[in-house]
Amino acid sequence: MDIVNINELIGNIELFVNKICGKIKKSDIKELRILKTKCFGKNGIITNFSKSLPQYNVSDRKKFGLQLNKAKKILEDAIVKRIEKSKSVYRDSEPHHEKLSYSKDFCFPFPKGSLHPIIQTIQDIIAIFKSLGFAVVDGPELETDWYNFEALNIPEDHPSRDVQDTFYLNENGIKKLLRTHTSPGQIHIMEKQLPPIKIIVPGRVYRNETSDASHSSIFYQIEGLEISENITFMDLKAVLVEFINRFFMSELNLRFRPSYFQFTEPSAEVDIQCNFCKGKGCKICKNLGWMEVLGCGMVHPNVLKSVNYDFQKYIGYAFGIGVERITMLKHNINDIRLFYENDLRFLKQF
C-alpha cells in the first residue's frame, strides 16, 4: 500500500467502513461470508491497512491505529448483528431459511430418503401379525439373569448358556446383562397378566460374538407368544405358514424340523426351500436345499410355572424370528454387515 497522507487515509477508512456496513445489512449469509473475507481475510482491506502501519511515524501510527481499531469494532458488530438476525428469521419462520434456494431446493422431483431395510422388515412383520390378532409390546434391553435365562428354564449351570454369551454390567449393585434374545419379553408380559395372551415383541438383542458375514454382536429379533387354554401345535403351524407366505409374498415350500430350545417342548425350526436352487442344493443354502428362518415350539411347562401360571390349565406356543436373517433371505443378501455400514449404494436399493 502506498504511503498517503494520514488524514486522507483515515478518511478512506471511514468511507470504506460506511460502505461495507451498508452492504452487510443487506447481505444474505453467503454474501456475508464473502464480505468478512474482504475485510479480515489474508488479503482483506483491514488486514492490509494494519500491515501498512509500520510505515508511519509514531504519532501518525497512533492516530491510524486508533481509527483502525474503531473500524474493526464497527465491522465486527455489524457482522454479529446480521448473523443474529438471520438466526431469528430461521427460528421464526421455518421455511425461510436463507440457505435454501427456492428454485433449486424445492423443485421436482424431491430427493427422497427411504427406510432402512431392517426397519422395513420390522414394520412388515408387525403389520402381518397385527392382522392376525397379535398385540405389539416392548421389553427392556437391559435384563437380569432371571428374565433372560432362569425364568426361561435355563439354569445357571446349563451348557446352553454358552451359545448365548453376552455383556454383563452392574447397575446400582445389581448384576445385569444385555438380553441375548427377545424371549424375556414372554416373561414380562406373563408376569403382568393372565391368559389369553397373543403378542409379539420386536427388539434389539446382543451376543458376545465376533462379527462375520452371518454374525453380529447386535441384531434384531421378533418374539411371538400365544397362551390360552386350548392351543395346539397346529395353531403355531397355521400362524407361521400364513406369516411366511405373506412375508415372502409367495407360497413357499416349508418344513418344520425338530430342534431344541430350553423354553419350548417340543421345539422346531422352520426352513424354507431355497429359492435360488429350488431345493437342489447350492452355495447359498450350503447345499442343504433348505434355509432356516426361525425357531419355535410349545411353551415349556417350567416357563409357565416360573410365572405362577397353572400349567395344567394353560398352554401356548412361542417363536423367535431373526430380523436380519429373514431380510437376507428375502433379498438375497449374503453379508449381515451390509446392514450396519450405511453404504448408500446398498441402502438405495430398498
Binding site for ligand PHE (CB under 6 A): 181, 183, 223, 261, 264, 295-297, 318-320
CB of 175 to ligand PHE, least distance (A): 21
- Contact assessment for residue 147 and residue 184, using Cβ atoms and an 8 Å cutoff: yes
Nearer to ligand PHE, 183 or 216 (CB): 183
Q: Which residue is nearest to ligand PHE (CB)?
A: 320
Nearer to ligand PHE, 32 or 239 (CB): 239
Q: Around Cβ 46, how many Cβ atoms within 10 Å?
A: 20
CB of 133 to ligand PHE, least distance (A): 18
Nearer to ligand PHE, 49 or 206 (CB): 206
> What's the CA gap between 125 and 249, in Å, rounded?
12
Decide: helix, strand or coil at residue 141.
Answer: coil
- Contact assessment for residue 144 and residue 173, using Cβ atoms and an 8 Å cutoff: no
- Contact assessment for residue 340 and residue 216, using Cβ atoms and an 8 Å cutoff: yes
CB of 168 to ligand PHE, least distance (A): 18
Closest to 128 in 3D by CA, of 46, 52, 224: 224
CB of 144 to ligand PHE, least distance (A): 17
> What's the CA gap between 121 and 78, in Å, rounded?
53
Sheet-wide strand order for 315-322: 135-136, 197-206, 218-228, 315-322, 290-299, 264-273, 254-261
CB of 335 to ligand PHE, least distance (A): 21
For 16-38, b where at least 16 C-beta lie within 10 A, e where not — what string? bbeebbeebeebeeeebeebbee
CB of 129 to ligand PHE, least distance (A): 14
Nearer to ligand PHE, 27 or 221 (CB): 221
- Any idea what DSSP says for residue 198? E
Backbone angles phi, psi at 11, to 5 degrees: -60, -40
Lookup: cell for 115: 427406510
CB of 263 to ligand PHE, least distance (A): 6
Closest to 44 in 3D by CA, of 8, 11, 68: 68
Backbone angles phi, psi at 325, to 5 degrees: -60, -45
> What's the CA gap between 18 and 74, in Å, rounded?
9
CB of 177 to ligand PHE, least distance (A): 14
CB of 289 to ligand PHE, least distance (A): 22
* Gyration radius from the chain CA atoms: 34
Nearer to ligand PHE, 257 or 278 (CB): 257
Q: Around Cβ 203, how many Cβ atoms within 10 Å?
A: 20
